[in-house]
Amino acid sequence: MILLLAGTAEARRLAEALARRGIPAMASLAGVTRAPAPLPLPTRIGGFGGDAGLAAFLDAHPVRAVIDATHPFAARITARVHAVCGRRGLPLLRLERAPWGPGEGRISVADEAEAIGLIPPDAVVLLTTGRQSLPAWAGLRAARVHLRVIDPPDPGAAPFPFPGGWEVARPPFTEAAERATLRRLGVTHLVAKDSGGEEGRTKLDAARALGIPVLLIRRPPVPPGLATVATVEDALAWAEALPVLPGPSVAVPRP
Ligand SMILES: NC(=O)c1ccc[n+]([C@@H]2O[C@H](COP(=O)([O-])OP(=O)(O)OC[C@H]3O[C@@H](n4cnc5c(N)ncnc54)[C@H](OP(=O)(O)O)[C@@H]3O)[C@@H](O)[C@H]2O)c1
């Protein structure tokens, strides 16, 4: 079977295509989102437990190929699966959508630190860089900061460290909805990761329409030598060209 490392819209579409074609596969989610929408494949949830955990998982399951369709910024799992598959001679494909890249009103930055240096102290900032990015924003000085998250913070979580607050909302967002959010919060600077894809692009279009600058954080590099495609269709073609995969998919509880 194929092990599909999921957690993106593309992984979902690929899971649907694999299921439709009856290609034996199992999906894997990191477990960072509290109630992920179920995928149409048997799905395991949670980290593997480092290199050794991933190797043990591959020993215990009839995995004949891996497709890494995790987020373009999920650099740790991508590096790990590349190294582990390389050692085992296991076919691996990275599915990574094209970046948005430079554009009108977008300022490309290497990381949060560079973005902090470009944000004036009277700014109202909407961060769409994910909950896990919060420590990297520690040095940010702004009039207000809003950090968009899918799930509300745990009741016992530390208070939000800036004037402003969590902006709890579940994607996808239309461009009109993004414009309404930017206006409601009075945002003067939007910060985003260069994730690429149509779904997340609406915030860039909304910011451009309102004349709000976007600080766009560049992606981490893809490990050298990792076979990469940018579309679900190309990933599916790769999967279909694999030698016949033993099936059926391993039964694991659905989320
Ligand atoms: N980074 C983002 O901006 C972003 C945005 C949207 C969605 N996501 C999704 O959220 C997940 C975590 O992202 P991240 O940035 O924390 O990644 P990361 O830093 O590369 O990975 C952190 C750890 O999460 C576990 N992990 C990640 N993806 C996994 C998967 N599909 N199945 C099982 N374990 C997984 C691994 O734990 P072990 O070491 O225990 O194996 C990994 O070491 C990814 O699947 C990614 O696609 C990330």
Q: What is the CATH number of the domain that holds 196?
A: 3.40.50
The total of structural domains in the chain comes to: 2
Whether residues 135 and 48 fall in one domain: no
Whether residues 112 and 168 fall in one domain: yes
Answer whether residue 133 is part of any domain: yes
Query: How far is the centre of ligand 1, averaged over its atoms, from the C-alpha of 47 (Å)?
Result: 8
Answer whether residue 254 is part of any domain: no
Pocket of ligand 1 (CB under 6 A): 5-8, 28-30, 32, 47-50, 53-54, 70-71, 73-77, 130, 132, 193
Length of the chain: 255
CA 225 vs CA 56, 86, 99, 238, 241: distances in Å: 24, 10, 19, 17, 20
Whether residues 17 and 81 fall in one domain: yes
| pLDDT, tens digit only, all 255 positions of the chain | 999 999 999 999 999 999 999 999 999 999 988 788 899 999 999 999 999 999 999 999 999 999 999 999 999 999 999 999 999 999 999 999 999 998 889 999 999 999 999 999 999 999 999 999 999 999 999 999 999 999 999 999 899 999 999 999 999 999 999 999 999 999 999 999 999 998 899 999 999 999 999 999 999 999 999 999 999 999 999 999 998 655 544 445 444
Of 41, 70, 111, 151, which is best to mutate to test ligand 1, by the most ligand atoms within 8 angstroms of its C-beta? 70
Name residue 255's amino acid: P
- Ligand 1 nearest-atom number relative to CA 79: 20
